[in-house]
Copies of this chain bind each other. A is one copy, B any other.
Amino acid sequence: MYSIGQLSKATGVKVPTIRYYEQVGVLASAGRTDGNQRRYDQDGVERLGFIKHARDLGFSIEAITALIDLQQHPDRSCADASAIAKHQLADVQEKLRRLSALEAELIRISDGCDGDGVSGQCYVLASLADHKHCRTDH
């Protein structure tokens, strides 16, 4: 059996975050000692590992709750799990697309000023003040 601190070390998830996960219902409530402290078994370690891995991949708590629910019913269709993963992929790809445009613009802006001038002539400030400088849309 693990205390919450030991579970935290085992999974790399901070103690208050574990309590938060329990509070919002993504992590099932742990058993308690007589003194009301949480105790976890190996199963608990695995469930939290699943959550951490999914969070690291950017899945929302809501999506993870749905995925865990599916995991609990091995006989159900996995169409939903597939859809959630594809949705998350689309989300990440959209963010990549947007960030690439931002990167291009920021490189242009950054390159225009090496910081040895004066604000009045600063290309960074001028670029931000006037969208027309921009090469991409964002």
**What is the interface of chain A, defined by CB distance below 8 A to chain B?**
46, 49-50, 53-54, 56-58, 67, 70-71, 73-86, 88-89, 92-93, 95-96, 99-100, 102-103, 105-107, 109-110, 113-122, 124-125, 128-129, 131, 138
Contacts and interface: CB of A to CB of B under 8 A. Distances in A.
A122 B89 contact: no
Nearest to A46: B129
A129 B120 CA distance: 55
Contacts of A118: 74-78
Copies in the complex: 2
B78 A106 contact: no
Given A67-B124, A71-B119, A78-B124, 18 more contacts: A49-B129, A54-B128, A57-B138, A58-B102, A70-B122, A75-B119, A77-B119, A79-B116, A81-B125, A82-B122, A82-B124, A83-B115, A85-B106, A85-B109, A85-B113, A88-B106, A89-B107, A95-B95
A117 B122 CA distance: 59
Nearest to A117: B78
Q: Which 7 A-B pairs have the closest CB atoms?
A: A74-B120, A82-B115, A78-B122, A79-B115, A89-B106, A81-B124, A85-B124
